[in-house]
Amino acid sequence: MPVLLQIIGTVLVVIALADIYLTVLHPRAESSLLSIAVARGMWWLFCSATQGLPKRRDRFLSYAGSTIIVTLIGVWVVLLLLGFALIIWTGLGTAIQAEQGETPTDFATAIYYVGFSLATLGTGDLVPQTTVYRLLIVLKSILGFSVFTLTLSYFVSVYNNLTSRNTVALSLHHRTADTADSAELLARLAADNNITTLHQDISEIARNLTGLLESNNSYPVLLYFRYRQAYYALPRIAYLTMDTATLIRSALDQKQYRSVTESSGTAELWFGGIHLLEELCQTLLPKVRIQSQEPNEPRWREHYYQALERLRAEGIKTTNDPEAGADSYISMRHQWAPYLAKLMKYMVYEPRRVTPAEY
pTM (2 decimals)?
0.90
Per-residue pLDDT tens over the stretch 195-237: 888 889 999 999 999 999 999 989 999 999 999 999 999 999 9
Closest CA to 36 of 215, 178, 222, 185: 222
Alpha carbon distance 214, 210 (integer Å)? 6
pLDDT of residue 84: 92
What is the average pLDDT across 80-84?
A: 93
Q: Residue 165: pLDDT band by 50, 70, 90 thresholds?
A: very high
Alpha carbon distance 111, 337 (integer Å)? 51
Per-residue pLDDT tens over the stretch 100-135: 878 888 899 889 888 888 887 666 678 888 888 888
pLDDT of residue 18: 94
Per-residue pLDDT tens over the stretch 251-261: 999 889 999 99
pLDDT of residue 299: 95
pLDDT of residue 65: 95
Spell out the alpha helix ranges (H) of 21-130.
35-49, 57-61, 64-89, 107-118
What is the DSSP-derived secondary structure letter of residue 314? T
Q: What is the DSSP string of 115-172?
A: HHHHTTS--TTEEE-SHHHHHHHHHHHHHHHHHHHHHHHHHHHHHHHHHHHHHHHHHH
**Paired strand residues for 96:** 92, 128
Give the residue extent of every domain in the chain. Answer: 2-152, 176-358
Q: What percent of the chain has pLDDT over 90?
A: 66
Q: Please tell me the least confidently modeled range out of 55-64, 263-272, 297-306.
A: 55-64
- Look at phi and psi of residue 219 and say left if phi exceeds 0, alpha if psi is from -120 to 50, else beta: beta
What is the average pLDDT across 80-96?
A: 89
* pLDDT over threshold 80, residue 286: no
Alpha carbon distance 298, 304 (integer Å)? 10
pLDDT of residue 124: 66
Mean pLDDT across the chain, nearest whole number?
91
Closest CA to 170 of 216, 111, 229, 221: 229
